[in-house]
A and B are shown apart, each in its own frame.
Chain A
């Protein structure tokens, strides 16, 4: 096999390989950047539409809001005539296996329309069930003014996932936080009903 190893040819060989590889990667990165961004954007918009009332047709650019020292991103959505129909807020409470990224959709009255998990690393078969309708559908139309956002074990109105109290608590806390963020957004001069 192969060539005698000298300092010169070893360095040269690695240099050439690295140059070729990084050139190739840069090329493919440039080629795939657009489709990747488009896919991420489409996915985000699909998620927003999913958590907001069906009357929403246009989604506005992402905005940020400051709340208790942290900043949160949200999107407003409008119907055909330009009335605000709702607001989708991103929260990421920490669950059992790391942050659970959730998109929470509110209608203009502050009632939770729907929620969607964007990414999670909970235990498969246990906490990962938070993405399934059996758990998440109970938040459809959840009115935080009428019901308490906490798991039943803590005296609230949310059915926890069996054997996954930590995940259920995190999810519920995330939603409670989103409710507060929504109220903060509603109070800002940028009104929901413009």
Chain B
């Protein structure tokens, strides 16, 4: 498999949100607007790349039976680092995402990539895998956030183009499930056509 494929597979073939259906908790909770979705995606990508690199580097020295706790500690460390740094230098972004940053620790995507990819592959490949999956996640969250923002608040990336409110339900939890469901349908339709 070429190096480039490690990146591109995360976008479509192994898209974490629409194909693997991993990390649903932050996906549903943070995508109330396109900006929120994108920030969450980028924060997760940052943790994913770093944790993939470190885990692929130390995997050979970790006894098999304690690998999960070891990975979790590594991931939690990066998340906390991210939290400190965001709080110190970009307090505004931290304000909107604050609540969800700690949730990255228990994001299935991060642990899933550590377990399924990083501990079997080289550091470079794992970093590329982190970039690819991270980009796929960011893209999906931005898209889902954009759809919900357009339908729910009548704006896109914070720019209002319809006066008044949209369909409120799309900003709330039920709308998250609805929008995600329809996006998965569209995604499957598009990708299955490509395969034929």
Q: Could you tell me which A residues sit within 8 Å of B by CB distance?
A: 1-6, 9-10, 13-14, 17-18, 21, 24-25, 28-29, 32, 35-36, 39-40, 43, 123-126
Contact = CB atoms under 8 A, between A and B. Distances in A.
Contact of A24 (B63, B77, B89): B77
Contacts of A126: 168
Nearest to A125: B171
B65 A10 contact: yes
9 contacts: A3-B63, A3-B64, A5-B64, A13-B66, A14-B66, A17-B73, A39-B87, A124-B32, A124-B171
Interface in B54-80: 58-67, 69-70, 73-74, 76-77, 80
Nearest to A8: B63
A132 B1 CA distance: 52
Contacts of A125: 152-153, 165, 168, 171-172
B84 interface: yes
Contact of B64 (A2, A17, A35, A39): A2
A21 B119 contact: no
A21 B89 contact: no
Nearest to A129: B165
How many B residues are at the interface, by size bracket? 20 to 34
A4 B60 CA distance: 11
Interface of B: 32, 58-67, 69-70, 73-74, 76-77, 80-81, 84-85, 87-89, 91, 119-120, 152-153, 165, 168, 171-172
Chief secondary structure at chain B's binding surface: helix
Contact of A3 (B62, B74, B77, B119): B62
Given A17-B70, A25-B77, A124-B32, A1 B171 contact: no
B63 A9 contact: yes
Contacts of A9: 63
A44 to B, nearest CB: 11
Contacts of A40: 91
Contacts of B32: 124
A36 B120 contact: no
Contacts of A6: 63
A35 B70 CA distance: 31
